[in-house]
Amino acid sequence: MENVSFFSYRRHNAARSHVILSAMLNDLLGALWRRVPKRLRRWTVRVSHPRFAVTAGAVVTDGRGRVLLLKHRFRPGSGWGMPGGFIEKNEQPEDALRRELREEVGLEIEHARLLAVRAFKEPKQVEIVFSCQAAGDTDQLSFEIQRIAWFRPDELPPQLPQDQAQLIKRALADGATPQD
């Protein structure tokens, strides 16, 4: 009986010693890391962490319940897709979406609300998707856009990527309908 309690005591102390040594080592590493020059710390983080592009996109509806899709010149596949683009440095996602819509098709939006956040491995990208309503009409096309069209939800182009078609259905099911 005494041997059992002796071994239990040793195992408990060994585990406790391991936790204490681990904490001491972490404290030492933290202290050393804080003394490393800032430029080297930033470089180490850049090299050791994955980098992603961050984009903002939207399911945009109009007063007639149609969905805005753009045919992009540089988008792979058919080119059809939801509007959106890259978020610039120090830009908020909704502001990036509004800027992209102004630049690409001259459209203002209202009632923007977060719909989804998605991450892709290829390309390394995080996409922030909103649902919103168009405020007015489109009045221009940038060189990036070949064509702009409003589609009824049951008449989306068959070449539209399936994941985007699902997002559109989700947005409409969640109430992304025109404001009365």
Q: At 176, is the pLDDT very low, low, confident or very high (cuts 50, 70, 90)?
A: low
CA distance 37 to 150: 54
Q: What whole-number distance in Å separates Cα of residue 60 and Cα of residue 129? A: 10
User: Which of 26, 59, 43, 38 lies closest to 127, judged by CA?
Assistant: 59
- The rounded distance, in Å, linking the Cα atoms of 89 and 72 is 23
Residue 130 has pLDDT above 70, yes or no: yes
pLDDT the model gives residue 97:
97
The separation between the first and the last C-alpha atoms of the chain, rounded to the nearest angstrom, is 81
| pLDDT single digits (tens) 53-70 | 999 999 999 999 999 999
pLDDT at 179 over 70: no
- What pairs with residue 125 in β-bridges? 53, 120
Assign 73 a pLDDT band (cuts: 50, 70, 90).
confident
pLDDT digits (tens, 9 = 90+) for 133-165: 999 888 788 888 999 999 999 999 999 999 999
Residues 6+ away with beta carbon under 8 Å from 59: 67, 82, 115, 129, 130, 131, 132, 167, 168, 171, 172, 176
pLDDT of residue 94: 97
Q: What is the mean pLDDT of the chain?
A: 86
Is the pLDDT at 15 greater than 80, yes or no?
no
Residue 3's pLDDT is: 56
13: exposed, middle or buried (Cβ count in 10 Å: 0-12, 13-18, 19+): exposed
pLDDT tens-place string over residues 74-101: 777 778 999 999 999 999 999 999 999 9
